[in-house]
């Protein structure tokens, strides 16, 4: 019989829910340290490196990392653990700017311009909220008996702080003044506050673990204690997971990752869980969430866990394009995603080691190789009950420099584990590469024969085929956008 060919674009991310025989052939059934591309296909993730080669002074994990006034700040317990300190990076070392803070805080920050200049504000759950103007530290006194707010946000010229079930806001335009005489006020909620987020339409979302309350109005001049309206769907946010990506707010709830959006009617909200394909994996880790961030250039929402793992959610517009799984040797404990003084995206994180790292930087994990792999869903090539003799797979693949990428076919469901990889064929990808069919990517020697880069023989028979890609050498990131199969149809199964 003549040889047939079929091309399949890759994409859709990790799917741990759909039965193998029903899964889209572009999706993944296993993955580590790859990401869904906005344009389709998959790529090995970028690495990270130390932002400052010097360790932040003190001991234990970092308590907070922030970027303000073109400076990076890190909070850490002092040696002995009795107090905590704030340090400022000078690019090649750290200068201590504030001592004597209560230890073991979990810091949140916001930069805001209340009166002519941006200042940095923070809360930790262990110390008073503070204001920092790059020179002077000011403790903010609210009058609460235990004056250690946990969450913070600036909204419509008011500074908002949370104390478990209590929400306090400052006087209008006066972030350090919490006097009811000048317009400060307290609001109470039925669920302990887990975070704030500004929503579309000028609404402030006050999130609890099992509730969401909405505050409407232009300022304290037209909102009252009764202005906090409970959102009707009884859904809340886990602390540390609230992020805004474009006009959409993402967060982790007990039901999974939620996309909380505004309808055309002002103040009328809807929500949707978007993590169905990885729900079991996600919910098994919700108790160890350590941080979250967004990556604007890649339209990603990222969740990190204290065991060093993470999940990358890539969005194409308002739609989820795919989710993939990552594993970092340095767990992400505190993270800030912002822009530097030149407008370039800057993502920094702190870990247990006491260093601040720059994410999306380099091709290694701070010098260590990035072990990455992905197993593409089993593909019946349009004939689930027809046996096939496979001949070749040709890949739409590219890399910016030489990199060792290995691939292995699988013709039986669940026949192989993940590591160690055996029976692989090397794809020594090099150069910028090209789209499938437009040119050769190069070649390498396998035994005594030359094989074109971007293609591999498939010596096997089966109803289905899956491909397992693996790389663990230091080198450039690689991308695989699609695969073309060459095969000879066989007899149908009865």
Q: Which two tokens stand for residue 81?
A: 């653990």
Q: Which two tokens stand for residue 404?
A: 């060792």
Higher pLDDT, 322 or 341: 322
pLDDT exceeds 90 at position 151: yes
pLDDT exceeds 80 at position 159: yes
Predicted confidence band at 272 (pLDDT cuts at 50, 70, 90)?
Answer: confident
Domains annotated for the chain, with CATH where assigned, are 4-30+372-492 (2.60.120), 48-359 (2.130.10.10)
pLDDT exceeds 90 at position 282: yes
Which residues, other chains included, contact 207 with Cβ-Cβ below 8 Å and sequence gap of 6+?
193, 194, 195, 196, 197, 213, 236, 237, 242, 251
Lowest mean pLDDT: which of 49-53, 117-121, 250-254, 490-494? 490-494
Q: Of 84, 62, 93, 87, which is closest to residue 73 (Cα–Cα)? A: 87
Specify the pairing of strand 193-199 against strand 300-305.
unpaired
Are the beta carbons of 120 and 127 closer than 8 angstroms?
no
Q: State residue 7's pLDDT score.
A: 94
Q: Of 238, 257, 240, which is closest to residue 248 (Cα–Cα)? A: 257
Average pLDDT over residues 338-350: 95
Query: Residue 173 phi/psi, 5° resolution?
Result: 75, 5
The string of pLDDT tens digits covering residues 190-228 is 889 999 999 988 899 999 998 889 998 888 878 754 567
Q: State residue 349's pLDDT score.
A: 98
The string of pLDDT tens digits covering residues 447-467 is 222 233 477 888 888 889 999
Q: Provide the 3-class DSSP secondary structure of residue 284.
A: helix
Distance CA 59, CA 267 (A): 46
Q: Of 274, 282, 197, which is closest to residue 239 (Cα–Cα)? A: 197
The model's pTM is 0.91
Torsion of CA 113, 118, 124, 130, to 10 degrees: -90
The string of pLDDT tens digits covering residues 284-331 is 999 999 999 999 999 999 999 999 999 999 999 889 999 999 999 999
Q: Of 454, 456, 402, 407, which is closest to residue 430 (Cα–Cα)? A: 402
Q: State residue 424's pLDDT score.
A: 55
Beta bridge partners of 325: 311
Distance CA 217, CA 203 (A): 7
């Amino acid at each position: 019989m003549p040889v047939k060919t079929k091309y399949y674009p890759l994409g859709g991310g990790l799917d741990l829910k759909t039965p193998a025989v029903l899964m889209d052939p572009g999706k993944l059934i296993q993955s580590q340290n790859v990401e869904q591309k906005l344009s389709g296909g998959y790529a090995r993730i970028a690495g990270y490196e130390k932002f400052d080669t010097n360790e932040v002074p003190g001991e234990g994990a970092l308590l907070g990392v922030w970027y303000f006034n073109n400076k990076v700040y890190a909070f850490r317990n002092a040696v002995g653990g009795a107090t905590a300190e704030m340090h400022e990076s000078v690019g090649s070392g750290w200068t201590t700017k504030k001592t004597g803070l209560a230890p073991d805080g979990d810091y949140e920050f916001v930069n805001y311009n209340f009166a002519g200049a941006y200042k940095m504000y923070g809360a930790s759950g262990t110390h008073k909220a503070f204001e920092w103007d790059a020179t002077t530290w000011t403790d903010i006194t609210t009058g609460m008996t235990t004056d250690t707010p946990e969450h913070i946000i600036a909204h419509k010229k008011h500074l908002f702080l949370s104390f478990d079930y209590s929400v306090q806001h400052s006087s209008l335009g006066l972030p350090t003044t919490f006097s009811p005489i000048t317009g400060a006020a307290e609001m109470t909620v039925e669920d302990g506050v887990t975070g704030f987020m500004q929503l579309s339409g000028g609404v402030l979302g006050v999130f609890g673990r099992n509730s969401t309350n909405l505050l409407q109005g232009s300022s304290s001049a037209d909102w009252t204690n009764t202005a906090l309206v409970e959102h009707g769907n009884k859904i809340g946010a886990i602390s540390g997971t609230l992020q805004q990506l474009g006009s959409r707010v993402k967060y982790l709830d007990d039901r999974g990752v939620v996309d909380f959006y505004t309808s055309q009617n002002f103040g009328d909200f809807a929500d949707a869980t978007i993590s169905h394909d990885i729900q079991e994996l996600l919910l098994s880790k919700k108790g160890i969430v350590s941080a979250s961030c967004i990556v604007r250039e890649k339209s990603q929402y990222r969740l990190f866990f204290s065991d060093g793992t993470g999940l990358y959610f890539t969005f194409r517009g308002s739609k989820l394009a795919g989710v993939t799984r990552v594993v970092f040797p340095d767990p992400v404990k505190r993270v800030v995603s912002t822009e530097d003084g030149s407008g370039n995206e800057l993502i920094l994180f702190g870990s247990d080691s006491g260093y601040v790292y720059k994410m999306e930087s380099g091709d290694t994990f701070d010098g260590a190789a990035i072990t990455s792999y992905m197993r593409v869903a089993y593909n019946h090539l349009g004939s689930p009950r027809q046996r096939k003799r496979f001949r070749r797979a040709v890949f739409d693949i590219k890399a910016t420099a030489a990199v060792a990428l290995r691939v292995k076919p699988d013709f039986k469901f669940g026949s192989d584990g993940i590591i160690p990889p055996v029976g692989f064929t090397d794809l020594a990808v090099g150069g910028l590469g090209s789209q499938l069919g437009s040119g050769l990517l190069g070649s390498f020697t396998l035994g005594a024969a030359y094989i074109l880069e971007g293609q591999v023989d498939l010596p096997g028979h089966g109803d289905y085929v899956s491909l397992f890609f693996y790389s663990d050498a230091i080198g450039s990131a690689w991308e695989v956008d699609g695969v073309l199969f060459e095969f000879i149809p066989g007899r149908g199964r009865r």
